Structure 1
Amino acid sequence: MSYEFMRRALLVVAASGVAGALLSCWLVHMGWSLMGDAVSHAVLPGVVIAALIGIPFAVGALVAALVAVTLIGAVRESGTVREDAAMGIVFTALFSLGLVLIARFPSQQDLHSILFGSVLGVRDSDLVQVLAVSAFTVIVLLVFRRDLIMLAFDRLHAHTMGLRTRALTGLLLATLATATVAGVQSVGVILVVATLIIPGATAQLVADTMRGTMILAVVVALVGGVTGLYAGYYADLPPGPVVVLAQAVIFTAAQLFAPRRGVIPRAAAGARARRSGMMAA
Structure 2
Amino acid sequence: MNSIISWITEPFIYPFMQNALLTALVVAIICAVLSCYLILKGWALMGDAISHAVLPGIVLAYLAGLPLSVGAFGSGLFCSLSVGYLKENSRIKEDTVMGIVFSGMFAIGLVMFTKVETEQHLTHILFGNLLGVSTSELIQTLIVSAIILFVILLKRKDFLLYCFDPSHTRVIGASPRLLHYTLLILLALTIVTAMQVVGVILVVAMLISPGITAYMLTKRFDRMLIIATIISISTSIFGTIISFHIDGATGPCIILLQAALFLLVLIYTKLKMHQQS
Q: State the TM-score, normalized to the length of structure 1.
A: 0.92
Matched, 1:79 2:90: yes
Distance 1:107 1:87 in 2: 29
Pick from 252, 263, 273: which aligns with 1:266?
273
- Aligned-residue sequence identity (percent) comes to 39
Aligned equivalent of 2:217: 206
Question: Aligned partner of 1:237: which letter?
Answer: G
Q: Is the 8 A contact 1:21 1:200 kept in 2?
A: yes
Shift of 1:46: 1.5
Aligned equivalent of 2:265: 254
Q: Is the 8 A contact 1:180 1:192 kept in 2?
A: yes
Shift of 1:108: 3.1
Question: Aligned partner of 1:78: which letter?
Answer: N
Deviation per CA, 1:195-244: give whole Å up to 9, x if none: 01001001111122111111111111101111111111110110011110
Question: Aligned partner of 1:180: which letter?
Answer: I
Q: Secondary structure at the match of 2:231?
A: helix
Shift of 1:60: 1.1
Larger radius of gyration, structure 1 or 2?
Answer: 1
Shift of 1:133: 1.9
Shift of 1:82: 1.2
Distance 2:93 2:164 in 1: 22
Shift of 1:128: 2.2
Distance 1:202 1:57 in 2: 32
Pick from 150, 170, 176: which aligns with 1:159?
170
Aligned-pair RMSD on alpha carbons? Answer: 1.2
- Provide closer, same or farther for how the CA distance between residues 33 and 6 of structure 1 changes in structure 2, counting only shifts above 3 A: same
- Provide closer, same or farther for how the CA distance between residues 107 and 148 of structure 1 changes in structure 2, counting only shifts above 3 A: closer
Shift of 1:154: 1.5
- Paired residue total: 266
Structure 1 residues not aligned, in runs of 5+: 271-281
Shift of 1:189: 0.4
Distance 1:240 1:106 in 2: 25
Pick from 220, 233, 236: which aligns with 2:231?
220
Shift of 1:165: 1.1
Distance 2:208 2:99 in 1: 18
Matched, 1:243 2:250: no
Shift of 1:53: 3.0
Structure 2 residues not aligned, in runs of 5+: 1-11
Q: Is the 8 A contact 1:28 1:200 kept in 2?
A: yes
Question: Aligned partner of 2:218: which letter?
Answer: A
Shift of 1:187: 0.1
